[in-house]
Amino acid sequence: MKYPAVKEHHLYNKAYKSSKHFFGRYVCVYLLKDLKAQKLRKSHPQKIYVNRLGLSVSKKVGGAVLRNRAKRIIRAGYASVEKDLCKGYLIVISAKPDINGKKSTAIGKELKYAFEKLGILPEKKDFRDEVK
């Protein structure tokens, strides 16, 4: 699935300077409230809010093949947690050099932990709460 992308350079700069952030072992996650969320919702075919995703992989990670692989596994890891996230945010994920050789499951676990720390992964209800 193709995710709406963060395309404007000023949004990346804003995310790096003044956003909530999480620095993990393999990735850094920056989170901003999306000011265009309402406009994107109106243009969406199903009229739902969406998160915009921006990826940043520097040359410190490696050559073009390694950078593209890093982006691919970050997208796969994000896809595993995306359905549970709150909507209407700009999410910028930056890869660290340690990402080389890692699987998308490890990246997905780190992203899930990051989103829990940032507060956009809603807490799951205990099944005992639903019975009462």
**Is residue 131 one of the residues assigned to a domain?**
no
**Is residue 130 one of the residues assigned to a domain?**
no
* Strand-pair category, 27-33 with 20-23: antiparallel
**Is residue 84 one of the residues assigned to a domain?**
yes
Strand order across the beta sheet in which 20-23 lies? 20-23, 27-33, 89-95, 52-56
> pTM for the whole thing?
0.86
- In order along the chain (132 residues), what is the average pLDDT of each group of 10 residues? 82 91 95 84 80 94 96 95 90 95 94 93 59 46
- The tally of domains found in the chain comes to 1
**Is residue 126 one of the residues assigned to a domain?**
no
Domain range spanning residue 16?
9-120
User: What pLDDT does residue 1 have?
Assistant: 62
**Is residue 2 one of the residues assigned to a domain?**
no
User: What pLDDT does residue 132 have?
Assistant: 45
**Is residue 20 one of the residues assigned to a domain?**
yes
Domain with residue 89: its CATH number is 3.30.230.10
**Is residue 72 one of the residues assigned to a domain?**
yes
User: What pLDDT does residue 116 have?
Assistant: 93
Q: Which of 104, 101, 55 is nearest to 81 (CA)?
A: 104
Alpha helices in 19-58, H assignment, sequence order: 37-43
